[in-house]
């Protein structure tokens, strides 16, 4: 089954918590803090696998969570770091934000390995908080949380040449003739239900890939027929083969068909329609009035396109077409489809865009304190002892919490809630 879209949820691993322990040995009368650090959480990584050609693996599995890092232990033992979660996708997969479509990763290079979510760092053990003033800290850091993200996977095949045209114009026959592809061929519409890829070998050093796109119909860009499902797959191509039925089977008018497909390409993407095109008039072995070929040639050359009459059945005139195509491809560089937004930097930007203080009063009169400053400190504090809570509040004071509370109208005796804990405000 060919699947070219999927929505999945990702989560990187949380860092392990630091330990708050003390040496307890007979030979050591006053054992100091010996809490070890937590291990790093697993990151989420995408890997472009050239052996995959569909997103079917994601049809039933939608959640991908990396493992958390191990907690620190006594005797300065560091917790185990978790392995990265590696998600294999076909080459050509684009990873987007599921909500707004932002492109994070374009997995267009075989074996490319790209990180999308970084695992949380491990928290520090209480050994790090010993000072000349505070010799026995009873608190440690908690591991930094992992990040979560909902993404949409889109597969866009990596074909150098896109093969387009109405159903039954001979696309499958053509790709079977010029490559080792084994596309279905039959005398009815929509024989091809999935894109086919074929490798055309010119000589020992030159080859290119043709993507046979299932038949377009009029209105495809609006969702009619099968074409809209596969138009995205030709966005990566550098050259378009536009196949026409020169024999006019089924009462077809090749010039009219040409205009319809041109319109569909423009409506879907003007950039796509502007790519170099070679118009291929197929089935010349069955053409009785050769004047039709002259009419087609004259019409398409007005648009600046090359014209090649061929027979996919007999192989007549195919070689010159393939050699000319290779010349084209040698001159045309692969362009990125669109710019990526670096996912790790975007996550930091969203966090930094939070207000420093977000102070609101609920219906019971309790003041609830949140905001970037609070969240940043919450990432660090493991509330495993009263000392850690007091240290947390003290740092918030130094950051200007009391002034912010007064600005919002908080009065002495009011209840203030921070990180799920309630305090009484005292001037």
Report the percentage of the chain scoring pLDDT > 90: 31
Give the Cα separation of 76 and 55 in Å (integer).
45
- β-pair partners for 408: none
For the chain, what is the radius of gyration of the CA atoms?
32
Q: What are the structural domain ranges in the chain?
A: 1-155, 161-331, 354-424
Can you say how many angstroms the Cα of residue 183 is from the centroid of all Cα atoms in its chain? Answer: 29
Give the pLDDT confidence score for residue 388 in this predicted structure.
72
Cα(88)–Cα(53) distance, rounded to whole angstroms?
11
Distance in angstroms (rounded) separating the CA atoms of residues 380 and 143: 7
Class of domain 354-424 (CATH, top level): alpha beta
Convert the pLDDT of each residue in 316-331 to its tens digit: 999 999 999 999 898 8
What is the model's pLDDT at position 363? Answer: 85
- pLDDT digit string (tens) for 57-103? 898 899 999 999 999 998 889 999 999 999 999 888 999 999 888 89
The residue that leads in pLDDT, 53 or 109, is 109
Give me the chain's average pLDDT, please: 83
The superfamily in CATH containing domain 1-155 is GTP1/OBG domain (2.70.210.12)
Instruction: Identify whether the C-beta of residue 13 lies closer than 8 Å to the C-beta of residue 68.
Output: yes
Q: Which CATH architecture has domain 161-331?
A: 3-Layer(aba) Sandwich (3.40)
pLDDT (tens digit, 9 = 90+) per residue, 31-48? 688 889 999 999 999 999
* pLDDT reading at 410 higher than 50: yes
CA dist 161 and 181 (Å) reads 14
| Per-residue pLDDT, 332 | 85
pLDDT digits (tens, 9 = 90+) for 268-288: 888 888 889 999 999 999 888
Higher pLDDT, 132 or 307: 307
Is residue 145's pLDDT more than 50? yes
Percentage of the chain lying above the pLDDT 70 cut: 88
| Contact between 193 and 171 (Cβ < 8 Å) | no
pLDDT band, very low/low/confident/very high, at 306 (cuts 50, 70, 90) = very high
């Amino acid at each position: 089954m060919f699947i070219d879209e999927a929505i999945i949820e990702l989560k990187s691993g949380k860092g392990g918590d630091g330990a708050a322990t003390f040496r307890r040995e007979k030979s050591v009368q006053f054992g100091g803090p010996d809490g070890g650090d937590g291990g790093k959480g697993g990151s989420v990584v995408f890997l472009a696998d050239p052996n995959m050609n569909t997103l079917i693996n994601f049809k039933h599995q939608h959640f991908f969570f990396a493992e958390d890092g191990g907690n620190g232990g006594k005797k300065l033992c560091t917790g185990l770091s978790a392995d990265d979660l590696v998600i294999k996708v076909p080459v050509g997969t684009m990873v987007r934000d599921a909500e707004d479509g932002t492109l994070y990763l374009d997995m267009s290079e075989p074996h490319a390995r790209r990180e999308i979510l970084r695992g949380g760092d491990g928290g520090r053990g209480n050994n790090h908080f010993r000072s000349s003033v505070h010799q026995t800290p009873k608190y440690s850091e908690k591991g930094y949380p992992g990040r979560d993200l909902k993404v949409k996977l889109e597969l866009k095949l990596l074909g150098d040449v896109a093969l387009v045209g109405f159903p039954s114009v001979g696309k499958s026959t053509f790709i079977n003739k010029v490559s080792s592809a084994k596309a279905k061929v039959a005398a009815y519409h929509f024989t091809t239900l999935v894109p086919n890829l074929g490798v055309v070998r010119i000589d020992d050093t030159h080859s290119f890939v043709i993507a046979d796109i299932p038949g377009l119909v009029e209105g495809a860009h609006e969702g009619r027929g099968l074409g809209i499902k596969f138009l995205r797959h030709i966005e990566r191509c550098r050259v378009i083969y536009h196949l026409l039925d020169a024999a006019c089977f089924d009462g077809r008018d090749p010039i009219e068909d040409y205009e319809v497909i041109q319109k569909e390409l423009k409506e879907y993407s003007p950039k796509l329609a502007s790519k170099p095109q070679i118009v291929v008039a197929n089935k010349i072995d069955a053409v009785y009035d050769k004047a039709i070929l002259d009419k087609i040639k004259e019409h398409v050359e007005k648009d600046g396109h090359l014209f090649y009459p061929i027979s996919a059945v007999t192989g007549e005139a195919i070689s010159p077409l393939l050699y000319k195509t290779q010349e084209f491809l040698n001159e045309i560089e692969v362009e990125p489809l669109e710019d990526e937004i670096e996912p790790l930097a975007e996550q930091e930007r969203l966090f930094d865009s939070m207000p420093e203080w977000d102070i609101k009063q609920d219906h019971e009169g309790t003041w609830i304190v949140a905001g970037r400053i609070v969240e940043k400190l919450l990432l660090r504090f493991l509330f495993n002892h009263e000392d850690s809570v007091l240290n947390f509040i003290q740092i918030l004071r130094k950051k200007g919490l009391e002034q912010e509370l007064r600005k919002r109208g908080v009065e002495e005796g009011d209840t203030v809630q921070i990180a799920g804990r309630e305090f009484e405000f005292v001037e």
